A and B are shown apart, each in its own frame.
Chain A
């Protein structure tokens, strides 16, 4: 343990020269300075650009304003750069280049020491703060996406009238889709990957604390361009924005493209950080077969994000280029190909499902052991399942393109690979079932989420196998059946798992227990509404109702009414759950440091978690799920106690 002692003797470590007060420029920056700087730079860019570079009055062949695309793109980019500069993101690289290295006092200031709640609104590097920031951002995005879903369902439920303009309705669909995809990507890996994983593996922080802050604030900067698309003509082509529709879309499309480009940077940086943290910063004694399964889930998700997000990013960079400088990657009459876009898009588009589902599933595997008080059933199979999904996810993307006409001969190999991925994914479900088998269940809210997710995974998984078959897909593609399927996977298996995971780790993050009664009411209400919404949607799809339509035949009325009622019930349930979170956060029952009696490391440190996580870095001496297995130290202690008793008796 000598290393640990050295780490805490900071006074003994020679420090570089302190330039000014600790924190330097970051003492003066926050979300306010970032927003002001972003807006100012955006306005200046727009003003200069519109004055000098846009020939107002001149129109393109499609009657759009010449130069407007470039102007809007430049304005969005200026917002992002201005915001990042204003919040202090460039201070670190500049200090490094100038040779003004951080002192320990600088690092502590940047981690938020002594700044109270204001640290949540600054470029703070502490992984726990970043975890909270991600949590709030995920809740905001889920709220926004959910609200848009309510509007969509209102339109589809009011079968006797048209509520929205068709173009606006299409924009609602597209914006809802991408907002929810982003929210689901971050909802587990963001808050829990950042807050929990470093503590869970026995580290003091993430490997690269400043990159951690950078990844969050890039995400923050990416959201306004996306949301603003609704005011600029919208994105009317679904969240996939196939070409050349995207190229022919109003300027609002540029908000989507800029958002994805920046979000991909954010995800790449976060992936680098999480992988490096898990690989290099595990506590002494935490060998690979002692790593908690949740950390494996985050690792697998990060690997997929690292490798495949750049494909998504470049699909949008090239689309933006086509729109702004009239290049021809996707414009057929100029030598481009729409299939190129679809390939680049789906190379991430499908692994992204597992980027969402794998950490969520791993979180449930993690908490199940606690509420069943038994080891994870076949830990190695679970790890193999995650590895298998990560590997095979890279060769399944074409099943999204069966009906596009691209390489028909490739359909069958990709049908095989898609069906193959259900095997490692099935491993994870079997590990869940095996762990529950003959266990004594401590039925709390997180465990209820486990049951819900198993149900949703079975429904979503089986319907996914149907859709992976080329002949079935020829009938089902583009129908409400597909919409119901992917909602069962992304929302049923992803969001409900996230709710369970948040309920489980809530005491560690906030020091309070999530109100079980209110939380359960919210959860089960949402679950019931979910079954009604998407069960009805399966029926509509099987009847032949296409997706992304505003008007439809009366034959689909009943299923749409049911779906809309279900959607409102989901909304009510989620609001109740949100109330439980906020109420418990402020007034909940204090939890202590380990209310569940868990064996993993994050529960062994005190709550609230101190800045450096552990007073002394832990040494791991046992597997993470040794519930029911005698603790060797208990044995030693008992023997010592027995010996002591014997010697006492002997002395008598």
Chain B
């Protein structure tokens, strides 16, 4: 919904701090969140590069965890599924508030909060129950960090969706000013992508293709 359409029906509210129409800071916020996503994406790419690089090299044949105890794939995908559902629900809520249905955003943010809590707890449980420790080879280290990154994302997301719930309940997110909810929905969507990529790498790139890796030495002599 464009600002023009809204302003035809009702005067656009003004930002209390700057006095601008709220769509003006909303434009800035939208670009800001895109830039945050770019920055976070670069960090995620760094982790994925680390994972795939070590997977492809299999340095000193030490990529695999002890006894080939790879992580179970199911928890990764269940967590991704949870985040995807949370994202879909948040967008459903955002569309609702834009159409004038405040209750839809409240319901959506409650549901999303519950899902994110469940996903976060699931992520912690997964971290605690991996069949290896972070020091059990390169795969174990890289997988731990992919899971930790998702846990960090979920923790941040939990703060954001519960804040949206509270702000909607208090009437601060309205049909004329739904922008913060939209920003959070954009962020959840990015978290879906990040979690999906992490799960994809951790579950499909397990056994290294480099089974005859040269010895790179230990640098300990």
Report the bound CA distance from A102 to B25 in whole Å. 14
Among A106, A327, A340, A343: residue with most chain B CB under 10 A: A327
Report the bound CA distance from A279 to B43 in whole Å. 24
- B38-59, CB under 8 A of A: which get 1 and which 0? 1110110011011001100111
Q: Please tell me if the beta carbons of B54 and A337 are within 8 angstroms of each other in the complex.
A: yes
Judge if A328 is at the interface, Cβ distance under 8 Å: yes
Judge if B142 is at the interface, Cβ distance under 8 Å: yes
Pick the contact of A318: B32, B39, B63, B145 (CB < 8 A).
B145
Interface size on B, residues (CB 8 A): 54
B147 CB to nearest A CB, Å: 12
A183 CB to nearest B CB, Å: 23
B60 CB to nearest A CB, Å: 6
Report the bound CA distance from A223 to B28 in whole Å. 31
A90 CB to nearest B CB, Å: 11
Report the bound CA distance from A528 to B31 in whole Å. 46
Chain A residues positioned under 8 Å from B170 (CB to CB)? 99
Q: Known contacts A268-B39, A340-B53: does B20 contact A7 (CB below 8 Å)?
A: yes
Report the bound CA distance from A442 to B220 in whole Å. 62
Judge if A338 is at the interface, Cβ distance under 8 Å: yes
Interface hits, A124-143 → B, CB 8 Å: none
B215 CB to nearest A CB, Å: 9
Judge if B99 is at the interface, Cβ distance under 8 Å: no
A interface residue count range (under 10 / 10 to 19 / 20 to 34 / 35 or more): 35 or more
Among A15, A106, A204, A318: residue with most chain B CB under 10 A: A318
Interface hits, A549-572 → B, CB 8 Å: none
Q: Please tell me if the beta carbons of B62 and A334 are within 8 angstroms of each other in the complex.
A: yes
Closest partner residue, chain A, to B159 (CB atom)? A97
Q: Please tell me if the beta carbons of A306 and B218 are within 8 angstroms of each other in the complex.
A: no
- A72-109, CB under 8 A of B: which get 1 and which 0? 00000000000000000000010011110111101100
Chain A residues positioned under 8 Å from B18 (CB to CB)? 7, 107, 204
Q: Please tell me if the beta carbons of A344 and B27 are within 8 angstroms of each other in the complex.
A: no
Chain B residues positioned under 8 Å from A7 (CB to CB)? 18-20
Judge if A648 is at the interface, Cβ distance under 8 Å: no
Interface hits, B27-85 → A, CB 8 Å: 27-28, 31-32, 35-36, 38-40, 42-43, 46-47, 49-50, 53-54, 57-63
Chain B residues positioned under 8 Å from A595 (CB to CB)? none
Q: Please tell me if the beta carbons of B137 and A334 are within 8 angstroms of each other in the complex.
A: yes
Pick the contact of B139: A333, A335, A343 (CB < 8 A).
A335
Chain A residues positioned under 8 Å from B59 (CB to CB)? 332, 335-337
Closest partner residue, chain B, to A204 (CB atom)? B18
Q: Please tell me if the beta carbons of B220 and A333 are within 8 angstroms of each other in the complex.
A: yes
Q: Please tell me if the beta carbons of B135 and A334 are within 8 angstroms of each other in the complex.
A: yes
Q: Please tell me if the beta carbons of B216 and A310 are within 8 angstroms of each other in the complex.
A: no
Chain B residues positioned under 8 Å from A281 (CB to CB)? 28
Report the bound CA distance from A336 to B217 in whole Å. 11
Report the bound CA distance from A14 to B218 in whole Å. 67
Closest partner residue, chain A, to B43 (CB atom)? A310
Report the bound CA distance from A549 to B13 in whole Å. 65
Q: Please tell me if the beta carbons of A340 and B54 are within 8 angstroms of each other in the complex.
A: yes
Q: Known contacts A328-B62, A332-B219, A335-B63: does B13 contact A306 (CB below 8 Å)?
A: no
Judge if A208 is at the interface, Cβ distance under 8 Å: yes
Chain B residues positioned under 8 Å from A344 (CB to CB)? 46, 49-50
A427 CB to nearest B CB, Å: 26
Q: Enumerate 7 A-B pairs (CB-CB under 8 Å) in ascending A order.
A: A9-B19, A10-B19, A13-B19, A102-B16, A321-B145, A327-B134, A329-B138
